[in-house]
Amino acid sequence: MNGKYVHGYTEREAERLSDQAETLTRLLHDDTRYPAESRVLETGCGTGAQTVILARNSPEARITSVDISEVSLDAAKKRVQAEGITNVTFEAGDIFDLRYEPGSFDHIFLCFVLEHLADPRRALERLRPLLRGGGTITVIEGDHGSAHFHPDSAHARRAIGCLVDLQREMGGNALIGRELYPLVAGAGYRDVHVSPRMVYVDGSRPELARGFTRLTFTAMVEGVGEDAVGRGMMSREDWEQGIRDLYRTSEPDGVFCYTFFKATGRK
């Protein structure tokens, strides 16, 4: 799979992904439910944070979850086993070279995968033959350019920009959410529909301030600090100020909003 995971494979990153999935379950996943006995392919399952939600929402579907990282697959297996989930099979595989017969699946699901690929359209094109006629694809991505907050901070905005730049250098695209419609439609899917899903956080929503602003978004940005400072993208003093300012937006008088994009299409 060309493209690298900019956030790394640390235990803390696995915890952040779990926090993110749990916080965003209703916003992103409530309208993704698959019928009994349907065959579902989840590509780029990572440590299984989204897998657990998929399986809970569709307990009688048959889910095959694939990732290129054996480390992530091991973590995903343990997570699913701990939840007592039995309708998921894990397999190692490259999204660009999956060895399944054409028409093997009724549905395909990708969440936070395309942003890490140098050629996301080709990935979508390679997945399309694996769907049966009329089968569906669901793609969810974020867009770091959609982050807005109060109090505003030039240092915080630059810190986010460092993450965007680092991901671009690694072959990914942290702004991919806005491109989902042309990507999915351009890969040959029909009936493509994209819906924006905004996370809005203010002082009346302390659980979101903790779960999303602090533990999901700011923790994600903070995680690339050594790379950003080490490459001279920001001074350490400015970087630390930017991170403090991002955390500041989670205080009772702060506001933070971010938009995810969810695309669906049909073969």
Give tens-digit pLDDT for 93-134.
Answer: 999 999 999 999 999 999 999 999 999 999 999 999 999 999
Give the C-alpha separation, 21 to 53, whole Å: 8
Q: Is the per-residue pLDDT at 23 higher than 90? A: no
Q: Which two tokens stand for residue 210?
A: 């903790």
What pLDDT shows up at residue 26? 85
Query: Residue 149's beta-bridge partner residues?
Result: 256
Average pLDDT, integer, range 145-168: 98
Is the pTM higher than 0.85? yes
> Per the CATH hierarchy, to which homologous superfamily does domain 11-266 belong?
Vaccinia Virus protein VP39 (3.40.50.150)
Kindly list the domain boundaries of the chain, sorted by start residue. 11-266
Average pLDDT for the chain: 93
